[in-house]
Amino acid sequence: MTDFLPPGGAVLDDDEVDARWAHAWRPEQVAERLSGVRTPWCVAAGWALDLFRGGPSRPHGDLEIAVPAAAFREIRDRFPELACDAVGSGQVWADAGAEVLAATHQTWFRDPASGRYLFDVFREPHEGGTWICRRDESLRLSYDTVVERTADGIPYLAPELVLLFKAKAVRPKDQRDFDGVLPLLGPERRDRLGGLLERVHPRHPWLAAIGDRATPVTGDPSPTCEWAQPTALEVRAVGRATTEDGRVSEEGSVTGESSATGGPSVAGASRVSGDSRVKGASSATGGSRVAGASGVTADAGEVALSKQDLREVTGFAAACAEAVLEVFEADRPGDTRPREALAAAWAFAGGGERGKLLRDTAWAALKAAKSADTPAASEAARAAMAAAGAAYLHPLAKATQVKHILGSGAHAARAAELAAGDDPGRADELVGQAVRRATPAVVDVLERFPTAPAGGGRVGELTRVLDAALRSRPSAGEPA
């Protein structure tokens, strides 16, 4: 791949891209066509994590595989009926020739008759049998190390490396993937992930969640930089996610119950088959279902949430972010991305539907945060991003979900603090405003979840301060 992009690339409308990817293949379809190839290919990105988990955790908008760049022709020859479009910097080159392929690393395979995109191929740097990380070329590992396989033989990229790539620009789905996969990683895998992040993305917020056990991964230009073999706790097979005692109580985990087909039932968010509720311990009354103030009944281990609950939380988050929007706009006049994210959040809070606009504007606000010239402006944009993302609060009884409720307020407080010369008194003022702003309905939703998690730097600290203040606030009718 070169730094020069040749002319002729087209910019596709987001809606068109979504429509053309609506019929993407699944991993087993590509694996069947690539059976017998000699090159070490593997499923990458979100699908790779689900192959590691042992089952689908969320819908996937596409299917990505990774191959050594020099071996792309062998992969290409297995799909003679398909066209190849190169992709780079937001542009698409239809039927890409050698010049465009040399300048890019991503290729969308297209059905010429329908125009549908079926799967995406990353042409990765390598030296012979040694994989080279695109993010840090001094990180080199043998393909035998980075490629794992399901019980059915489908190759997938090791989850530590998938999360390393997702860490560069964390979108809401990347955060969900991290939150869901981290509990399934044994100690050795956590160490490796932490070491990779320390090396490629120092001070990344995920490091706090991983813990202090991680040690940096050192460079090794030879293919002998091997990782330890997975332990029994980390064995994953298609349709199963097992531990030594046959039970893991997180997304993609085996509950020990039998499914209708006689196998272990996989419990997790957004499962495609079976009961889509998170399974947990029975309630104190002996049942396994709980009801929240919203009147929505849920299984234990799952938080009851109605659409009105989500609207209340999103409106609260939008109001928090709006208080510091001017901090961003003073730094980046003319950049409307955070304002558009807030508009989308307010629209949902006011009765609109939760859809693509919220996701797109949240992602755009995050990009705006990364382009800001000052830390204060960046935090203000992140507050807007969190406001749009608040609509996607998940009904999982996990501390990490509190960030969906209070993240906007915490980022807003940090933005104000930084804009005032890192004055903690200013952060306290914004936290106080958020406490007064929160309606009883918002506090009620918050109290259905565990308290805010540890870690997350200063924003995490402000989240916990806000969380504690809201939980200790007198309820309506109680003496102050």
Together in a domain, 329 and 198: no
Question: Is 153 among the domain residues?
Answer: yes
Tally of structural domains, the chain: 2
Together in a domain, 193 and 313: no
Together in a domain, 30 and 166: yes
Task: Give me the mean pLDDT over the 321-330 stretch.
Answer: 95
Specify the CATH number for the domain of residue 80. 3.30.460.40
What's the distance, CA 373 to chain centroid? 25
Question: What is the C-alpha separation between 480 and 442, in angstroms, rounded?
Answer: 18
Question: Is 373 among the domain residues?
Answer: yes
- Let me know: does 162 contact 149? Beta carbons within 8 Å: no
- What pLDDT score was predicted for residue 138? 86
Together in a domain, 175 and 28: yes
Question: What is the C-alpha separation between 401 and 91, in angstroms, rounded?
Answer: 35
123-153 pLDDT per residue, tens: 999 988 899 998 888 889 988 889 999 988 9
Question: Is 283 among the domain residues?
Answer: no
Q: Which residue has the higher pLDDT, 211 or 273?
A: 211
Task: State the pTM of this model.
Answer: 0.47
Last residue of a domain, one of 144, 177, 210: 210
Together in a domain, 72 and 193: yes
- What pLDDT score was predicted for residue 46? 95
- Over 70: is that where the pLDDT of 35 sits? yes
Angstrom distances, CA of residue 233 to CA of 241, 305, 446: 9, 33, 33
Question: Is 227 among the domain residues?
Answer: no
Together in a domain, 175 and 67: yes
Together in a domain, 203 and 314: no
Query: Considering only CA atoms, which of 355, 353, 357, 343 is closest in space to residue 315?
Result: 343
- Over 80: is that where the pLDDT of 456 sits? yes
99-119 pLDDT per residue, tens: 888 888 899 999 999 999 999
Question: Is 426 among the domain residues?
Answer: yes
- Let me know: does 125 contact 71? Beta carbons within 8 Å: no
Lowest mean pLDDT of 81-85, 87-91, 199-203, name the range: 87-91
Question: Is 299 among the domain residues?
Answer: no
Angstrom distances, CA of residue 158 to CA of 5, 48, 150, 221, 281: 31, 8, 11, 19, 31
Last residue of a domain, one of 186, 210, 234: 210
Lowest mean pLDDT of 51-55, 101-105, 127-131, 278-282, name the range: 278-282
The listed range with the strongest mean pLDDT (265-274, 299-308, 460-469) is 460-469
Range of the domain at 458: 307-471
Question: What is the C-alpha separation between 66 and 122, in angstroms, rounded?
Answer: 5
Beta bridge mates, 240: 237
Q: Which residue has the tokens 């040690």?
A: 215
208, two tokens:
């706090």
Together in a domain, 203 and 324: no
- CB-side exposure of 20: number of CA atoms within 13 Å? 20
Together in a domain, 54 and 203: yes
Question: Is 225 among the domain residues?
Answer: no
- What pLDDT score was predicted for residue 229? 33
Last residue of a domain, one of 176, 194, 210: 210
- What pLDDT score was predicted for residue 451? 94
- What pLDDT score was predicted for residue 293? 40
Question: Is 272 among the domain residues?
Answer: no
